[in-house]
Amino acid sequence: MAKLTLSVDDAVISRAKRYAEQHDTSVSGLVEDYLSSVTAKPSAEKLPPVVKSLRGILKSADPADYRRHLLRRYQ
């Protein structure tokens, strides 16, 4: 396992240590879980059904149409 040095505000570190202790983990564990979650590729299995049904719906949309809409709306 690699080591990582971070610069974090003292107040944030204190809160993180309290949170980690309350949740039976370590600050390193919290950081690892966070980094893992934000860098993971989204999984279709974890999405709510309504979101699954909307995926890919705008693949054929023209961004220029949306720009024209915004220009008309906010003139």
Residue 18, domain member (yes or no): yes
Domain range for 35 is 10-73
Mean pLDDT of 42-47: 72
Residue 16, domain member (yes or no): yes
User: Residue 44 — pLDDT band, cuts 50, 70, 90?
Assistant: low
Residue 1, domain member (yes or no): no
Residue 5 · residue 15 · CB < 8 Å: no
Summarize pLDDT for 4-39 with one digit per residue, the tens: 999 999 999 999 999 999 999 999 999 999 999 889
Domain count, the chain: 1
> Does the structure show a pLDDT above 80 at 67?
yes
Residue 61, domain member (yes or no): yes
The Cα–Cα gap between 55 and 44 comes to 9
Of 62, 63, 64, 44, the residue nearest 54 (C-alpha): 44
Residue 30, domain member (yes or no): yes
The Cα–Cα gap between 56 and 59 comes to 5
Of 46, 3, 62, the residue nearest 28 (C-alpha): 3
Residue 5, domain member (yes or no): no
Q: What is the pTM of this model?
A: 0.55
